[in-house]
A and B are shown apart, each in its own frame.
Chain A
């Protein structure tokens, strides 16, 4: 969406030579005579919504998808990613055998036996640890895998490797939301189930491209509006949900904090704050109130690049609603003040008493498949399973008792993922095990990140495909996909759901088996004596017993009976907790915290050399680094390459027509891509989607400044310059130039483009 496919004129019209239905190579229409043996109830492996779906299995292969109308969240609905997800399972690009560089860094990756690969890994890790200490090996984990696996990675790093450095790619994704939730509300989970949207009178979506990143949730938004709910959207671009919104605030990237505090100012001035709620259920109101006094909408509007009356109107719309919801996502979290942004949004909800009722709350839309579960089960630098603190003596003692280790054997807090990069460059981290992540697309300032990974003495990647990151590895182990294992994930609502296994992995090993085998060879097999993912889940449940994210009462059977269980679920009779904060917040005194957060400008403001703001984001056809979705023909065809979205006024000033090659430059690097000239973006803003690697990666350009508390990079704002490129970049050289020129010519002949009056620059 926001994809006008005509900018990809150069795409080659290749026939699909692989039949994803029969999982064989055939040239013509898909096979339909297959007898479907089983319909495996499972979920989509992509975003945090975790839509239910059935995988069709025939002849022992996954051959298709069937909508799962009995799952209570999506009722059969799927987005194009979900519809095509099954095509990954027997994809020709899958890794089937371990790959290794036998002759050192300069040699190429070649197939080896599992035995040889595992031996090498263990031997090299032990060498590095002997020479440089236990913490010289780091584990870089991910969140698009089951809770069982995420939990196992945390335990593997701390028990089998004994390193303090374990963190995961959620650091780049939802860590700001975690910081805000924990500081203000006490529990790191969305406060409401998605179905609460239907009870809301007003929904305020800020920094969340719901239509493209969580397409199924659009259904709930539209249904809420059918019932008369008002929709406010704040985004620098007109996103699909913004088009018909009751109120659209096209704010300048990086100014969300000012907007939110400005709205609070209006609420206070108009007497829309809920004094009883503030008195009984919160602390810290006076400071926040005093701060908000200093943010009148007239001034805020100038900073945000909005009209002041629009801010006032939006605040009234929100403040007068009987029940209102705020949804945030990466737009305001991917900033060097991401936590403060979240806190400001929570302030707004607290001041109006919008918590603990149907349709009233603050929710962050977690992006990754298991983004919610992955951040609770102890694969974070400072966390033990169940959102426990690694530096809390009680939590340490409890986890040690479950794991059966001595307390002094449990490492302390390590580096967050983004600080592992400088540590690698310093030579402090010398080896790394990476699973389920593709940092060479997803980290900011990729040139530095690439230097860091290349500087490692030994680098292991576990992945189903040869990702951009895996290409740098010394050993690559074939990972399994979601359809090839059993396990639970936790959706963005906090609903624990279950994947069921449809087929066996092509490499023969499930990731949990690989990890347990590595642990055994490291001499720690007694701590990893699992027979199935169910054993791991049972241990995870025990670890979370009595903790904030309590899974103790959840079982595989209960998940299937109830269509998922919301944590906390403290015992077997407990049905789960869909809505949080009905009685009390997650602090010992039961009260929520206001935080007076003054506005902080983005780390890079535009200047004369770099006069534009560059923001990055997602498209509906791709998921995260695109390592999986870029391999699916349908999705690849829809959005094969990145592009630069820019406003018509900007384009006219630069002499750029739609489809021309433009070069975008920042202090970190530059890239060239075709221009998409539209009026649906702020004239001072440029947008480039981020799912692409190497010279197509926008993260060559982004700013690696980190949020001080959570260390999330500022992907969403940096200063940039743009100019017309002399010609296509290297990656586009292979494309048919004649076609390109002809298509461009045709486009110029279109009457609308030629005769439209030139808008006057402001």
Chain B
């Protein structure tokens, strides 16, 4: 296993995500994915916010690829550069063990073909030095592909962001190839603790919606004492009844300044 600093990783930054699902669309275009997307975009809590977050295979390094470790058919290959591949469809027995083992809920199951599919970091592209499809098309760099140094140079690090690749699920620690971008105070992402804090949405007070922080009631301009210019409404035509025919004016229907 090469040290993680020397290889290119993915940096997932939900704060930059606009939920456009370009990555989802582009993933399908990769020759290894063939019309099926291996990345997910979720709206966290649409009622409260437009926040969204990408989920893609994190390519676990320690423990190395739990999905591959639990595979009874040795169908999941981990290549020497640390990329965890999707199941070899000739070996996969469709037992779904990998789905249970994956800490991030990544594997997809092809019901018709009876085999598991997941992100293989666009191996056909990344092994040739190109970026994976999702990171290449991402319009916001919410998915960034490069070395740690390249990520720092891109500037996000200077604004108090820090990538984290250590996750806790209770006492289980998982270190991954890919990073999630958090704030500079964070050393690791403790998912179980976060889940406790969020109390599964059961808390009485929902978080204040940022959307209405600066909003207030309104009155019309006259009441507010604001000078206004009354402009006569110019409907294109009275609705009913249909107007009497008007002959075309020889000087042109609209003066020079009227419609440019």
Q: Tell me, yes or no, whether A binds B.
A: yes
- A contact set with B: CB distance below 8 Å: 1-4, 16, 19, 21, 28-32, 64-65, 67, 69, 76-80, 82-84, 133, 135, 164, 175, 178-179, 182, 211-212, 215-216, 218-219, 222-223, 225-228, 237-244, 247-250, 252, 255, 258, 291, 294-295, 299-307, 310, 336-337, 380-383, 389, 391, 412-416, 418-419, 421-423, 425-428, 445, 448, 598-601, 603, 605, 620-621, 634, 638, 648, 658, 668, 676-684, 703-706, 708-711, 713, 750-753, 755-757, 762
Identify the closest chain A residue to B204 (Cβ).
A757
B195 CB to closest chain A CB (Å) equals 13
Q: Which residues of B contact A226 (CB under 8 A)?
A: 154-156, 158-159
10 tightest Cβ-Cβ pairs between the two chains A and B: A226-B155, A752-B201, A305-B218, A240-B18, A679-B209, A30-B35, A238-B211, A310-B214, A4-B46, A422-B237
Q: How far is the CA of A226 from the CA of B19 in the complex (A)?
A: 20
Contact mask B37-60 → A, CB, 8 Å, 1/0? 000000101111111100000000
B220 adjacent to chain A (CB < 8 Å): yes
Contact status of A79 and B139, CB under 8 A, knowing A250-B214, A252-B218: yes
Q: Which residues of B contact A300 (CB under 8 A)?
A: 224, 226
B171 adjacent to chain A (CB < 8 Å): no
A258–B226 contact, CB under 8 A? Answer: yes
Contact mask B17-39 → A, CB, 8 Å, 1/0? 01111101110110110111000
Q: Which residues of A contact B29 (CB under 8 A)?
A: 64-65, 83
B234–A21 contact, CB under 8 A? Answer: no
B236–A240 contact, CB under 8 A? Answer: no
Instruction: Give which listed residue, A237, A426, A680, A684, contacts B243 with CB less than 8 A.
Output: A426
Q: How far is the CA of A680 from the CA of B210 in the complex (A)?
A: 8
Contact status of A77 and B138, CB under 8 A, knowing A225-B159, A414-B252: yes
Q: Which residues of B from 189 to 240 have beta carbons under 8 Å from A? A: 200-202, 204-206, 209-221, 223-231, 233-237, 239
Identify the closest chain B residue to A175 (Cβ).
B260
Instruction: Give which listed residue, A29, A303, A600, A648, contacts B218 with CB less than 8 A.
Output: A303
Instruction: Give which listed residue, B133, B204, B211, B246, contacts A680 with CB less than 8 A.
Output: B211
B5 adjacent to chain A (CB < 8 Å): no
B234–A600 contact, CB under 8 A? Answer: no
- Total A-B contacts with CB atoms under 8 angstroms apart: 318
Instruction: Give which listed residue, A29, A303, A416, A756, contacts B224 with CB less than 8 A.
Output: A303
Q: Which residues of B from 97 to 135 have beta carbons under 8 Å from A? A: 112-113, 131, 133
Q: Which residues of A contact B231 (CB under 8 A)?
A: 336-337, 600, 603, 708
Contact status of A178 and B226, CB under 8 A, knowing A76-B136, A248-B214, A305-B215: no
A302–B219 contact, CB under 8 A? Answer: yes
Q: How far is the CA of A64 from the CA of B33 in the complex (A)?
A: 13
Q: Which residues of B contact A703 (CB under 8 A)?
A: 235
Contact status of A751 and B202, CB under 8 A, knowing A228-B159, A302-B219, A425-B243: yes
Instruction: Give which listed residue, B47, B228, B233, B256, contacts A599 with CB less than 8 A.
Output: B228
Q: How far is the CA of A663 from the CA of B215 in the complex (A)?
A: 26
Instruction: Give which listed residue, A78, A228, A705, contacts B234 with CB less than 8 A.
Output: A705
Q: How far is the CA of A286 from the CA of B19 in the complex (A)?
A: 46
B15–A244 contact, CB under 8 A? Answer: yes
- What does DSSP make chain B's interface, helix, strand, loop or mixed? loop
A636 CB to closest chain B CB (Å) equals 12
Instruction: Give which listed residue, B35, B50, B159, B213, contacts A21 with CB less than 8 A.
Output: B35
Q: How far is the CA of A225 from the CA of B52 in the complex (A)?
A: 19
A605–B220 contact, CB under 8 A? Answer: yes
Identify the closest chain A residue to B27 (Cβ).
A83
Identify the closest chain A residue to B202 (Cβ).
A751
Q: Which residues of A contact B140 (CB under 8 A)?
A: 211, 215, 218-219, 222
Q: How far is the CA of A303 from the CA of B219 in the complex (A)?
A: 5
B1 adjacent to chain A (CB < 8 Å): no
Q: How far is the CA of A711 from the CA of B235 in the complex (A)?
A: 10
B126 CB to closest chain A CB (Å) equals 14
Contact mask B135-157 → A, CB, 8 Å, 1/0? 01111110000000000001110
A599–B26 contact, CB under 8 A? Answer: no
Q: Which residues of A contact B210 (CB under 8 A)?
A: 238, 243, 248
Question: Could you give 28 example pairs across A and B, Cβ below 8 Å?
Answer: A16-B35, A28-B112, A32-B32, A80-B25, A83-B22, A182-B260, A215-B20, A218-B139, A222-B141, A244-B15, A248-B211, A250-B212, A294-B227, A303-B219, A305-B218, A310-B214, A383-B260, A426-B245, A600-B230, A678-B48, A679-B48, A679-B49, A704-B236, A706-B234, A708-B258, A711-B254, A713-B236, A752-B201
